[in-house]
């Protein structure tokens, strides 16, 4: 694959992973606390109306990761397979970590959140939302690993090119 296309795909991949990581931490720390509330007096509650009103999946994530990061992940895996060493190994590591995140997102996070946005406040929905929140740490780790490996790829890529 020509160097310009490879370089462009790698640039976009690094940028998108950085945005996804930062936005994911922001959502986890700031936004989700409005969806799952707790107090000593009343316990934990799931606020589906707030989650639905925020609707970060369709208002933000669809434009940042659902479509773009998924396509960039697949394109970068394709290009990584054709890259030379040591770029190939780091690029494949970045692509595979991002692919793991994409699979986890499509198989668990999106369907679970769709269900939660229709769920009434109950101990069951609080349990599902809490599990969703806790598993988000794993998803953040996957994106961080992908981003760091993509940055390492970036360094080797430009070192090779001179």
120 domain residue, yes or no: yes
130 domain residue, yes or no: yes
40 domain residue, yes or no: no
Would the pLDDT of 3 be above 70? yes
Mind listing the pLDDT tens digit for each residue in 59-77?
Answer: 999 999 999 999 999 999 9
Mean pLDDT of all residues in 9-28? 97
Mean pLDDT of all residues in 121-128? 96
Taking the CA atoms of 56, 57, 60 and 61 in sequence, report the sign of the dihedral they define. Answer: positive
Round the average pLDDT of the chain to a whole number and report it: 95
Its pTM stands at 0.93
16 domain residue, yes or no: yes
The three-state (H, E, C) secondary structure of 53-82, written as one string:
HHCHHHHHHHHHHHCHHHHHHHHHHHHHHC
Highest mean pLDDT among 39-48, 80-89, 125-134: 125-134
Would the pLDDT of 6 be above 90? yes
Range of the domain at 134: 3-35+46-161
66 domain residue, yes or no: yes
Taking the CA atoms of 144, 147, 153 and 155 in sequence, report the sign of the dihedral they define. Answer: negative
pLDDT band at residue 1, thresholds of 50, 70 and 90?
Answer: low
Residue 161 is predicted with a pLDDT of 73
106 domain residue, yes or no: yes
41 domain residue, yes or no: no
**Cα separation of 39 and 41, whole Å?**
5
Phi and psi angles of residue 156, each rounded to the nearest 5 degrees, phi first: -65, -40
How many domains, in total, are found in the chain? 1
Q: Give the gyration radius of the chain's Cα atoms.
A: 18
Mean pLDDT of all residues in 83-99? 95
Question: Residues 68, 16: contact at Cβ < 8 Å?
Answer: yes
Mind listing the pLDDT tens digit for each residue in 26-48?
Answer: 999 999 999 999 988 889 999 99
Residue 30 is predicted with a pLDDT of 95
125 domain residue, yes or no: yes
């Amino acid at each position: 694959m020509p160097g310009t296309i490879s370089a462009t795909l790698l640039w976009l991949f690094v940028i998108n992973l950085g945005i996804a990581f930062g936005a994911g931490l922001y959502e986890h720390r700031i936004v989700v606390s409005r969806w799952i509330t707790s107090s000593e007096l009343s316990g934990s509650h799931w606020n589906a109306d707030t989650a639905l009103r925020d609707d970060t999946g369709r208002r933000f994530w669809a434009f940042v990761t659902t479509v773009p990061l998924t396509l960039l992940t697949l394109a970068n895996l394709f290009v990584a397979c054709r890259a030379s060493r040591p770029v190939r190994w780091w690029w494949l590591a970045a692509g595979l970590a991002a692919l793991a995140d994409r699979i986890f997102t499509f198989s668990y996070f999106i369907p679970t959140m769709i269900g939660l946005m229709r769920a009434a406040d109950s101990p069951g929905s609080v349990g599902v939302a809490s599990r969703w929140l806790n598993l988000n740490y794993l998803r953040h780790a996957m994106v961080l690993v992908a981003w760091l490996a993509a940055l390492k790829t970036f360094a080797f890529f430009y070192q090779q090119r001179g």
